[in-house]
Chains A and B, each alone.
Chain A
Amino acid sequence: MTLQEPTVLTNILYWLLAIVPIVVLLVLLVVLRWTAAQAGPVGFFVAAIIALLFFQTPVFTLGVATAKGFWDAIFILYIVWTALLLYEVVREAGVFTVFQREIAAFTPNRLVQFLAFSLVFVLFLQATAGFGTPIAVVAPLLVGLGIKPLYAVSLALIGHVWGNTFGSLAISWIALNLVVEVNQPTIVLFSSALLLALGVVFSILTLIWVFGGRRALRDGWLLVVIFGAVYGLGQLAIAPIVPELAAIVPAAIALGVIFLVPRIGRYSEPGEADVRDEILSDGWGGGKAAEGAEREAGEERRLPSLLVGFVPYIGLVIFAVLGLLLTELVEPLGQLQLGFGFPAVTTGFNVVNEAEDVYSGLNPIGHPGSYILLSAILGYIVFTRGGYIQVDDTRDLLRRTAGNAVPPSVAIIGFLTLAQVLDHSGQTFAIAQGIAEVTPPVLFAATAVFIGILGAFITSSNTASNILFGPLQSQAATSLGIGDGTVLGGQMAGGAFGNAIAPANVALGTGTAGISGREGAVLRITLIWTAVAGVLGAIAIVLLQLIVQ
Chain B
Amino acid sequence: MSKMQFLWTALGLTTLGFLLIWYGASFQEIILWLGLIVFSVGLLLGPLSRFLAKSETREGEGKSGGE
Contacts and interface: CB of A to CB of B under 8 A. Distances in A.
Interface of A: 34-35, 37-42, 44-45, 59-60, 62-64, 66-67, 70-71, 91, 140, 143, 148-151, 281, 287-289, 292, 340-343, 399-400, 402-404, 406-407, 409-411, 413-414, 417, 513-516, 518, 521
B21 A63 contact: yes
A150 B7 CA distance: 23
A63 B25 contact: yes
B36 A59 contact: yes
B64 A413 contact: no
B15 to A, nearest CB: 8
Interface residues of B, number: 37
Nearest to B62: A514
- What are the 7 A-B residue pairs with the smallest beta carbon separation, nearest first? A403-B59, A514-B64, A288-B65, A41-B46, A148-B67, A70-B18, A150-B67
A406 B4 contact: yes
Of residues B4, B7, B33, B50, which shows the largest number of chain A Cβ atoms within 10 Å of its Cβ?
Answer: B7
B53 to A, nearest CB: 10
Given A37-B49, A45-B40, A406-B8, A413 B14 contact: yes
Interface string B24-63: 1110010011011001100110110110000000111111
Nearest to A88: B60
Nearest to A71: B18
Contact of A63 (B4, B32, B44, B60): B32
A458 B63 CA distance: 30
Main SS of chain B's interface residues? helix
Contact of A148 (B7, B14, B35, B65): B65
A506 to B, nearest CB: 15
A364 B53 CA distance: 37
A299 to B, nearest CB: 18
A44 B43 contact: yes
A70 B43 CA distance: 11
Nearest to A287: B64
Main SS of chain A's interface residues? helix
Given A66-B36, A340-B22, A400-B59, A42 B4 contact: no
Contacts of A343: 25-26
Nearest to B32: A63
A408 B33 CA distance: 26
B64 A140 contact: yes
Contacts of A37: 7, 10, 46, 49
Contacts of A63: 21, 24-25, 32-33, 35-36
B25 A342 contact: yes
Contacts of B21: 63-64, 66-67, 70
A295 to B, nearest CB: 12
A66 B39 contact: yes
Contact of A407 (B7, B24, B67): B7
Contacts of A59: 32-33, 36
A343 B22 CA distance: 10
B7 A410 contact: yes
Contacts of A287: 64
A289 B60 CA distance: 11
A469 B35 CA distance: 30
A518 B63 CA distance: 14
Given A38-B46, A41-B46, A150-B67, A67 B33 contact: no
A151 B67 CA distance: 8
A42 B50 CA distance: 12
Contacts of A143: 64
Contact of A406 (B7, B26, B33): B7
A342 B8 contact: no
Of residues B18, B35, B39, which shows the largest number of chain A Cβ atoms within 10 Å of its Cβ?
Answer: B18
Contacts of B29: 60
A90 to B, nearest CB: 12
B58 A515 contact: no
Given A41-B47, A67-B18, A403 B36 contact: no
Nearest to B47: A38
B43 A41 contact: yes
24 contacts: A34-B47, A38-B47, A41-B10, A41-B44, A59-B36, A63-B32, A64-B32, A67-B21, A70-B14, A71-B18, A148-B66, A149-B66, A292-B63, A340-B22, A403-B4, A403-B59, A406-B7, A409-B11, A410-B10, A413-B11, A413-B14, A413-B43, A414-B43, A515-B66
